[in-house]
Amino acid sequence: MALQTVLDELRNRPGTGETIPVIDPATEEQITEFRDCGSDAVDEAVAAAKTAYQSGVWTDIPARRRAKVLWRLGDLIDEHATEFAELESLDAGMPPMQAEMIVATCAEFFRYYAGWCTKLNGSSYHAYTTKEPYGVVGLIYPWNGPLFNACAKIAPALAAGCSSIVKPAEETPLSAVLLERLIAQAGVPDGVTNFVIGYGATAGAAITAHPDVEKVAFTGSTEVGKQIMRDSADNLKKVTLELGGKSPVLIYEDADLDMAIMMASMGIFVHSGQGCVCGSRIFVQRSVYERVVAGIAMIGDNLVLGGPKDEGAMISPLVSQKQLDRVLGYIDQASATAPKSSPAVTDWTEKVTSSSPPWSPMSTQPPAGCIGKRSSARWLRSCRSTTTRKPSRWPTTPATAWLPRSGPPTWLARTVWASACRPAWSG
């Protein structure tokens, strides 16, 4: 499926709302546009999904047949890997190598869940139980990893026998056009997987409010997640939410510092920090703080920012001007509290295509409004830890800690206030 075909198909997609432009993050040029699908399109998609589910055209077929369809879909994604990588690079500004790795992972999602099709059984002592699909589910995913997030949601829904309404982010709809076609080509019946493309306030809100949608799976901001939970409460809809966070990295003085510095740098600079698992805060023991910060700054200074077609580009631009403005707002807050010794902010007023170096403000206190929010940018906050083991009660999201291989990890989970702790051994 040629790139221009995808752009034309998206442009000609029916809609009743306002026109939404699709912008290339690397050039800030409009590459296509589409009409907001509107709530009526969501109603039609839900009706089609409900009809497909109740007919049993997908739910009632033997599990082994569903497994073969999912496996076939994984193969089709591999066959169209070059096209998907090009679409992801154009849509989200990803470097080609990163886009290619993500496409390969997406194909494996469907192969993995193909194996689950024949294993969704229920049993208990002196009883017979069955596990039934929810029915019609809403799948809403963000702009920072369009294809990855789409496949991570669609694959398990298909494996379970659900019908779904899929809404990509309005900023990054391109890969959804090709994926929709391959789902049909793999053998998924009409009406089982339905894509609606529009704004969250229209299409997304219509999905969460619809009484025939039994469950919503959402990945995105905490603010929108709260709204989805409120809307879903009106009809007691179940929800699965993967929301924004500020994943901290803890580095201790007796860790392998060279490895910790390299991995911490990868954790924030990959995809320009626009990922849900990026380590955007680092807590470092005081004795090695200067070495760690200097090491990360040196790596950052040598990274080359550019678009997918720029030779030698190592990190990509932010996805949109809106995202850049949001990040600049956070930086302004941090600048007000950072000491004078912090690295200077260089040309942050330049366009999203600028080659401004990553910025690492050094401050022992977090600015209000920034500490718990995901910035989704190549912006790293470093903090000194004054204690031997317990860095602070700041980490409230999953934490990664670099420890010596001989160190016991059990105290980490007891002393760090976080939803999850992942020791990363070194040495």
Asked whether residue 275 falls in the same domain as residue 174, the answer is: no
pLDDT digits (tens, 9 = 90+) for 79-121: 999 999 999 999 988 888 889 999 999 999 999 999 999 988 7
User: Can you give the pLDDT at residue 296?
Assistant: 87
Beta strand 215-220 with 136-140 is parallel
Question: 365 or 296, which is more confident?
Answer: 296
Shared domain check, 370 and 267:
yes
Q: Specify whether the CB–CB gap between 7 and 29 falls below 8 A.
A: no
Same structural domain, 190 and 270: no
- Residues of the domain holding 269: 247-426
pLDDT at 300: 81
Closest to 148 in 3D by CA, of 271, 326, 65: 271
The predicted model gives 325-330 an average pLDDT of: 79
Residues 395 and 392: their CA atoms lie apart, in Å, by 7
Task: Flag whether pLDDT at 350 surpasses 60.
Answer: no
pLDDT attached to residue 382: 58
Domain CATH number, residue 418: 3.40.309.10
**Strand, helix or coil for residue 365:** coil
Q: In this structure, what DSSP letter does residue 187 have?
A: T
- Average pLDDT on 117-141 reads 82
Q: Are residues 273 and 382 in the same domain?
A: yes
Q: Which residue has the higher pLDDT, 126 or 287?
A: 287
Whether 132 and 163 map to the same domain: the answer is yes
- Are the C-beta atoms of 113 and 70 separated by less than 8 Å? yes
- Residue 229 and residue 218: Cα distance in Å, rounded? 10
Q: How many CA atoms lie within 13 A of 230 on its CB side?
A: 7
Cα-Cα-Cα-Cα dihedral sign, residues 80, 85, 87, 92? positive
CATH number of the domain within which 110 lies: 3.40.605.10
- CA–CA gap between residue 283 and residue 258 (Å, rounded): 16
Range scoring the smallest mean pLDDT among 13-22, 48-57, 246-255, 295-304: 246-255
Active-site residue among 9, 44, 108, 242? 242
What average pLDDT does the chain have?
Answer: 81
Residues 387 and 289 grouped into a single domain: yes
- The Cα 95–Cα 83 span in angstroms is 14
Q: Which of 129-143, 278-292, 331-345 has the highest mean pLDDT?
A: 129-143
Q: What's the pLDDT tens digit per position in 157-197?
A: 999 999 999 999 999 999 999 999 999 999 999 999 999 99
pLDDT tens sequence across 335-349 = 676 554 444 333 333
Strand, helix or coil for residue 134: coil
Q: CA–CA separation, 410 vs 400, rounded Å?
A: 14
pLDDT tens track for 29-76 = 999 999 999 999 999 999 999 999 999 999 999 999 999 999 999 999
Q: Averaged over 139-159, what is the pLDDT?
A: 96
**pLDDT-based confidence at residue 393 (cuts at 50, 70, 90):** very low
* Residue 317 pLDDT grade (very low, low, confident, very high; cuts 50, 70, 90): confident
CB-based contact 293:362 (threshold 8 Å):
yes
Q: Are residues 187 and 313 in the same domain?
A: no
What is the pLDDT at residue 305? 79
Last residue of one domain, picked from the residues 238, 262, 294: 238
Closest CA to 206 of 232, 183, 174: 232
Q: What pLDDT does 413 receive? A: 58
Domain boundary, last residue among 187, 207, 238: 238
pTM score of the predicted model:
0.81
Asked whether residue 183 falls in the same domain as residue 259, the answer is no
Higher pLDDT, 366 or 182: 182
pLDDT of residue 361: 43
The more confidently predicted of residues 272 and 33 is 33
Total structural domains within the chain: 2
Per-residue model confidence (pLDDT) at position 347: 35
DSSP code of residue 140? E
pLDDT at 55: 96
How many angstroms separate the CA atoms of 267 and 400, rounded? 10
Cβ atoms within 10 Å, residue 152: 19
pLDDT the model gives residue 3: 87
Last residue of a domain, one of 213, 238, 263: 238
CB 269 within 8 A of CB 244: no
% of the chain beyond a pLDDT of 90: 47
Query: Quick check: 77 pLDDT over 50?
Result: yes
401, pLDDT greater than 60: no
pLDDT of 419: 52
Q: Does 242 qualify as catalytic in the annotation? A: yes
Same domain, 167 and 132: yes
Whether 216 and 157 map to the same domain: the answer is yes
For residues 128 and 194, state if they share a domain. Answer: yes
Q: What is the DSSP letter of 201?
A: I
Mean pLDDT of 225-242: 93
How far out from the chain centre does Cα 32 lie? Answer: 23
Q: Are residues 251 and 226 in the same domain?
A: no
Rg (CA), the chain: 23
Least confident of 47-51, 251-255, 360-364: 360-364
Q: Which of 17, 10, 2 is nearest to 31 (CA)?
A: 10
198 band by pLDDT with thresholds 50, 70 and 90 = very high
Supply the pLDDT for residue 425. 47
